[in-house]
Structure formats: C-alpha cells, structure tokens
C-alpha cells in the first residue's frame, strides 16, 4: 500500500533521519530478549493491517516481536540510512513497490530469500509481483509480496440520488465507462447538487498513471516520464478536474479529507483496495452511504508492498519463517477480510471466500468479487529506482495548479526540470 510523499515533507524527513541516526549510534544487540527467546524487530507503516497476525504468530511460536510503526516515507528513509551505515536495520522491514527497485541496486544489503527456500512458494504469487522484488539476473530475491492495489471507484449513494442519477453499482459502472464520462457526470452532479465530483486531483493522477502499460521507466531502465502519453494524460486529467471545479480542495489524508468523506462533500473517491480501510477509519459515520463499482477504462495498480530481511538480521531463518506464514494465501485472505489489503496470491481470487465477501460499510457491495476482477485487469508495470521522487514532483506540480500558484504547462515544465536534476545527481 502507499502513502503520499511530498517534497514538503523533506524537512520533517530530515529531522526524523537525524533522530534515527542518533538511535542507531546507541543501538545494541537485540536479537534475543532477556529470557533468551528470539526477538524480531519489524518496521511497518500504519495501515498495513498485519500487526495482529504477527503477534499471533509470535505467541504460537514462542518468539518475541517488536513492531515499530513509522510514517511511510520515514520507514524507507530510515531503512536506506541504516543499510548505508551498516547498523540499525531491523530483522524485517516493509518496502513499498515504488521503493523496491532502488533497494535492488544493492541486493547485498538483504538476505537472499531464494537461499532461505522462497522458490518453494513462488507459485503462490502473481508472477509480475514476484519479479518486482527479483534482481535482473534472477539470482536474488529481496522480499515476499504482501498485497497489491487493484483499483475501483467508491461513490456516494445519496449524492448520486440527489442528482437524479442511478445508484445501482452496475448501472453506475455503465454510466461512467470512460474518463470523459467521469467529467460529464461530474459536471451534472456539480450543477444539480453543488457537490464536487472527486476528493482530490492528486488522487485521480495516482490512479490514472497506474492504468498504463508503462510508467516512469521502460523495460531497459530508460526514463520515459515526458514521453509516456499515459503520464501526460493523467496530469492533464487532474488539471481538467481543477479547471472545471470538480474537486473538493481537500488534501488526501488530511483531517478535512475525512470530514468531507463523512459529510458528503464529494461524490466519488478512486480507491485501490487498501483505501477501504482508510475510508472506514476516517469516516466511520458514513457507513452504508458509500458503495463501490468498477473503475472507468479498466483497473490498474496503486501500491502494494514487500517484506524484506535486511542483511544485518541475526535471525534470518526465524524472520523468513514468519513472513512465509504471514504472506501465505490463507493469511493474506485473513488480512483482506480485516484490513482490505488485497492478496498477491491469485490462487484464491475465485474462491468462495473472496467471491462472496461483502462489506457492510460499502452498502454490502461484493468487494471481494469487484477487486478480484480488478486484479485480473492489472498490467505489470516497471516502477524504477526513483519512482517515489518522480511522483512527488508531479504531485507538487498538480498542487501548484490547484492552489493557483502556477499555470498548468509552466508547472509541468517545472516538474520535468526538477526530475531531470534529481536523476542527474
């Protein structure tokens, strides 16, 4: 799963990293607890939804776990710092899909999961997801896949009804088959209800960029940001939403965003599977008012992560046993039911447990069936080593337009210049 990473966080990240370095300097061997039991330190970010299962495994297998939650960007920056310093890394760390390619540049910093027996479970996972954590020569596997982020569209039943539009999820999917349809319906909703069509132009960009067959890098590692029509299409669509006043103006993940979700200030929210948990947590009083249907123009992927074992771990075999169990098809199904994070194990997509799984929060929508269908439409995409930074610059470009600080073309050009400088370092 994904969290936002904006350039505006640089100062906060810098402070966090400096504090982290201080902690590293005082670190000591924590591979066992005071009773001599194996102790695993685990770095995750909020919303991964696997903490209780980790504690269950620890209790059943007589080990200790120290689960440390940090913000998404902090986990990646702290891990990068620890690996470079050769000290302070945990036994297990989550790495998001946009960060795994950068980690693959130094595979020696991680235990090779193939040496720990990972080939035995390769058939459990989507091939494209497995390959995202595999080095180009196929000899080093950095992590086992957690979830993927197939995409759908959440919509407000009350706003659609108020606008005189259908509310049945299949009829809504037929009403909005394309992004042009999305704009047309958004204008109708705006005219009849005064409500925004969508929460955020940045969220729209993140969803649309994941619908293409390529993203920021091609299969040979060449940067194609400016030449990829899907990226420019996603940016132009975000700008169009702003110019037509179809967005709420809220920043995703802000307190106002959750309040707007509850109050019905916007009609739709483009939602990878893991977004379901954030909606429930940020707008618990809106249960039953939201529904979910398929996304216009096919699915796509946003987010999804891996669990890795940094080389410094003195408990690699115990760590591998834990993640092998935790990321098995059975446990990923359990995670989906409790947290909404969709499994990376396709063998269970057509199972009765997935197909019949519904959500009370989303008007009893068959979310298992909807996201399983969306998952089958996902096209494998190469993320590339600087994906997080590139997305941050383009996200900032959209924000400048939204805030009236720059014209769309000038803001795009500024982002391209920033990306070129970043990649030339």
| Residues 6 or more apart whose Cβ sits within 8 Å of residue 415 | 393, 394, 396, 397
Which stretch of DSSP H or E encloses residue 146?
Answer: strand 143-156
Contact 210, 151 (CB under 8 A): yes
Distance, CA of 403 to CA of 239 (rounded, Å): 11
User: b/e map of 359-379 (b: 16 or more CB within 10 Å)?
Assistant: bebbbebbbbbbbbbbbeebe
Angle subtended at Cα 334 by Cα 328 and Cα 338, rounded to the nearest 5 degrees: 145
Q: How far apart are the first and last CA of the chain?
A: 28
322 has pLDDT over 50: yes
Query: How does the average pLDDT of the chain come out, rounded?
Result: 91
Phi and psi, residue 378, nearest 5°: -65, 130
Q: What does the pLDDT look like over 248-302, one tens digit per residue?
A: 989 998 999 999 999 999 999 999 999 999 999 999 999 999 999 999 999 889 9
Those residues with Cβ within 8 angstroms of residue 277's Cβ, 6 or more apart along the chain or in another chain: 47, 49, 339, 340, 341
| pTM for the model | 0.86
Residues 6+ apart with CB under 8 A from 37: 62, 63, 64
Share of the chain above pLDDT 90, in %: 81
- State pLDDT tens for residues 275-290: 999 999 999 999 999 9
Residue 47: what pLDDT?
86
Q: Is the pLDDT of residue 386 over 60?
A: yes
Burial of 308 (0-12, 13-18, 19+ CB in 10 A): buried
Strand 143-156 and strand 290-294: the pairing is: antiparallel
| Band of pLDDT at residue 30, cut at 50, 70 and 90 | low
- Confidence class for position 15, pLDDT limits 50, 70, 90: very low
pLDDT in tens, 56-87: 999 999 999 999 999 999 999 999 999 999 99
pLDDT per position as a tens digit, 334-361: 999 999 999 999 999 999 999 999 999 9
For residue range 371-385, what is the model confidence (pLDDT) as tens digits? 999 999 998 888 888
Residue showing tokens 């459990």: 124
């Amino acid at each position: 799963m994904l969290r936002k990473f904006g350039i505006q966080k640089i100062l906060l990240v810098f402070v966090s990293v400096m504090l982290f370095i201080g902690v590293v300097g005082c670190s000591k061997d924590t591979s066992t607890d005071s009773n001599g039991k194996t102790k695993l330190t685990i770095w995750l970010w909020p919303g991964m939804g696997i903490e209780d299962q980790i504690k269950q495994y620890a209790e059943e297998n007589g080990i200790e776990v120290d689960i440390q939650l940090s913000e998404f960007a902090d986990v990646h920056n702290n891990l990068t710092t620890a690996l470079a310093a050769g000290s302070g890394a945990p036994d297990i760390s989550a790495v998001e899909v946009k960060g795994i390619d950068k980690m693959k540049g130094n595979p020696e910093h991680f235990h090779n999961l193939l040496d720990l027996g990972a080939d035995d479970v390769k058939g459990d996972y989507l091939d494209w997801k497995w390959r995202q954590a595999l080095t180009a020569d196929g000899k080093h596997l950095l992590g086992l896949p957690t979830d993927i982020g197939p995409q759908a569209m959440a919509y407000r039943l009350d706003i659609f009804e108020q606008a005189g539009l259908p509310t049945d999820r299949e009829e809504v999917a037929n009403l909005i088959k394309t992004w042009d349809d999305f704009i047309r319906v958004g204008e109708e909703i705006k005219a009849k209800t005064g409500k925004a069509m969508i929460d955020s132009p940045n969220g729209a960009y993140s969803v649309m960029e994941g619908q293409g067959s390529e993203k920021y890098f091609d299969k040979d590692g060449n940067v194609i940001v400016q030449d990829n029509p899907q990226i420019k299409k996603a940016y132009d669509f975000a700008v169009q939403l702003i110019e037509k006043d179809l967005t709420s103006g809220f920043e995703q993940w802000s307190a106002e965003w959750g309040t707007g979700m509850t109050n019905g200030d916007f009609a739709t929210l483009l939602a990878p599977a893991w977004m379901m948990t954030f909606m429930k947590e940020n707008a618990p009083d809106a249960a039953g008012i939201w529904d979910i249907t398929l996304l216009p123009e096919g699915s796509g992927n946003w987010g999804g992560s891996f669990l890795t074992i940094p080389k410094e771990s003195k408990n690699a075999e115990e760590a591998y046993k834990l993640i092998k169990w935790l990321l098995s098809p059975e446990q990923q199904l359990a995670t989906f039911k409790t947290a909404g994070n969709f499994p990376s194990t396709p063998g269970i997509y057509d199972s009765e447990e997935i197909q019949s799984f519904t959500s009370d929060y989303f008007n009893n929508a068959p979310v298992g069936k909807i996201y399983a269908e969306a998952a089958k439409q996902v096209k494998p995409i190469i993320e590339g080593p600087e994906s997080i930074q590139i997305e941050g610059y383009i996200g900032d470009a959209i924000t400048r337009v939204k805030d009236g600080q720059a014209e769309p073309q000038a803001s795009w050009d500024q982002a391209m210049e920033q990306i070129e400088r970043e990649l030339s370092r």
